[in-house]
A and B are shown apart, each in its own frame.
Chain A
């Protein structure tokens, strides 16, 4: 099988892992080496699904001993199989990098022989790039479920980011669809990475020359919509993971049909709006001071597809409003629908010198329609009269037209 054929099979098999970030690490190659990473990361291309390509995302092999129902590479599927040699993966990365196609490599793999053997292969690619080729670009390695803590320790020395995928939000879901994987095992890998990272940081306090450990931290991914699990349960899991292992990101991947899928899976278009709402909720937890359990209720455990999660929270918690744009603290402004983190930061700067009006907000390109019922400004705001209306939701809901396009920019970032 030639290289192009392998690349086709092994990138096709890798694409269901949605993470493609190359950010959060600053590294330059040693003398004579190639590549650097920047804190912002660079998207080098975009595919027609609107997702960015910043890394060469491949599997080392799509042979796998596991039989996870949700996975395209499970052992019982009769898809085409291929395997890269370590040198092939290394040279592809370097060839693409030299031409400015990519920022680095995201390497994962199906499990062959056993977890340790597979992880050794991934580590070998990363080590060759860093040691033999003095590569300074970004490397994201997948932590193979069940591999030894020692291998994860080595992996973190070469990689910028490590990730162990939680795959499904609850143990019941895993038992159903990935019988060979357990939450305990997956979280064991997260805990090892977390420990490695904490130890390396402690050592670097004593000695600046101590090695870094996965400086861009760890992330994880879970599939949404392959099981009936509610948004509330999903957010419970992710907020626990954020707290326990200091994850940098949780990626939500709308379950997407793939060739030769198991009949137990929902063969339908991926639930993109639901995925989008979860990203928005995730942002609210990480940057806006919301706790996961505030965002949904036991009575309504799933997000309304027509309203963003912050608006849904605001409609349930009218007592919290109105908030005064010129006086209220940052934490309160962050809870106003339509005000994003960056806008709030700007407003805090402006209001020391200038009383903010609705017209000022228009100038900052804020959606007035969404925020008027909730915000006191220096001028008269008629919208405040609607705050206590039972039928407020229709007034602040985006038009159907907008909804069908659903803010393309936020679809990627989840920013509000």
Chain B
């Protein structure tokens, strides 16, 4: 058994995987250990690869795309899963990824989907607050996986003409209308706590909801409660649900609705 220490990022895994493949090390002989270089750890004997293997290795392009995404996953077992599929691709079947019912492939694709879903959630649920003093919009967000670097360019596309920062516990992304740069993660206290437009937004949220179609389970499925901490509208969800049956009864009784405060 070889213990391999890598930084939890794609490049570090890729470098190690290339060494291991070219040294013909099968997946069940590898144990992956996450940790920064030089970090004191229980795994004093773990090997690290600090330079690239000079040899050549051809890997299917679609595998690299999937692996690049899966590398953002927070579950440390995914490094092993990635290596196992790669090994089988090269030793067993170049078409392995086409066999969606294969347990290893399915597990890898599920990891990929979890990361993609998380990235989509981040694009959806980040909420900026305006820092007037610095003419900057700032958001705090806690992604499930290490996706901040991967998602930040999509925010640039949408908010190119603004200065903004997205703060997360892993890393922070900053855009100053010139280039994207990253700083270490912070806690949520670093972000502003309110914005003058939020009151209008809550008014919109309340009014666009149709109480006659109440379906709380469906809402929670699409917008799990763990995201609510960043969303200004979340604080009126319970109130909106609680008053909906009363609003419907009023409508059915053909009365004018009373304003809910």
Contacts and interface: CB of A to CB of B under 8 A. Distances in A.
A349 B100 contact: yes
Interface in A8-22: 8-9, 11-12, 14-16
Contacts of B126: 100
A57 B208 contact: yes
Contacts of A32: 161
A99 B127 contact: yes
Contacts of A29: 160-161
Contacts of B255: 259
B159 A12 contact: no
Interface string A23-35: 0000011001111
B157 A28 contact: yes
Contacts of A101: 127, 201
Interface in B112-166: 120, 123-130, 137, 139, 154, 157-162
Contacts of A267: 251-252, 254
Given A42-B124, A364-B100, A405-B217, A15 B209 contact: yes
Interface stretch (B28-36, B63-71, B76-84, B240-248): B240-248
Contact of B221 (A36, A48, A356, A409): A409
10 contacts: A7-B200, A11-B203, A11-B204, A16-B210, A33-B161, A47-B205, A48-B219, A49-B219, A100-B128, A352-B95
A256 B208 contact: no
A269 B212 contact: yes
A36 B219 contact: no
B192 to A, nearest CB: 11
B75 interface: no
B244 A261 contact: no
Interface of A: 3-4, 7-9, 11-12, 14-16, 28-29, 32-36, 38, 40, 42-53, 56-57, 78-79, 92, 95-96, 98-101, 134, 137, 254, 256-261, 267-270, 272, 346, 349-350, 352-354, 356, 360, 363-364, 405, 408-409, 411-412
A352 B98 CA distance: 9
Contacts of A8: 203, 206-207
B42 interface: no
Contacts of B93: 353
Given A48-B237, A49-B214, A260 B205 contact: no
A56 B244 CA distance: 21
**Across the A-B interface, the 7 shortest Cβ-Cβ residue pairs:** A50-B218, A47-B209, A49-B213, A360-B101, A50-B215, A11-B207, A46-B223
B99 interface: yes
A267 B250 CA distance: 11
A15 B161 contact: no
B227 to A, nearest CB: 10
A38 B153 CA distance: 13
Contact of B209 (A48, A134, A405): A48
By CB atoms of chain A within 10 A, which of B106, B209, B214, B240 has the most? B209
Contacts of B129: 99
Contacts of B197: 95-96, 99
A71 B152 CA distance: 43
B179 interface: no
B195 interface: yes
B195 to A, nearest CB: 7
By CB atoms of chain B within 10 A, which of A33, A268, A353 has the most? A353
Contact of B201 (A15, A16, A99, A350): A99
A363 B251 contact: no
Nearest to B253: A267
Contacts of B219: 46-50
B256 A354 contact: no
A49 B210 contact: yes
A256 B213 CA distance: 8
B256 A260 contact: yes
A28 B160 CA distance: 10
Given A32-B161, A33-B161, A270-B213, A261 B201 contact: no
Interface in B181-234: 195, 197, 199-201, 203-219, 221-223, 231, 233
A52 B240 contact: no
Given A42-B123, A98-B128, A33 B160 contact: yes
A131 to B, nearest CB: 15
B26 interface: no
Contacts of B210: 15-16, 47, 49, 51, 256
Given A4-B199, A34-B158, A46-B219, 4 more contacts: A42-B123, A47-B208, A48-B215, A346-B100
Contacts of A270: 212-213
Contacts of A356: 101
B123 A50 contact: no
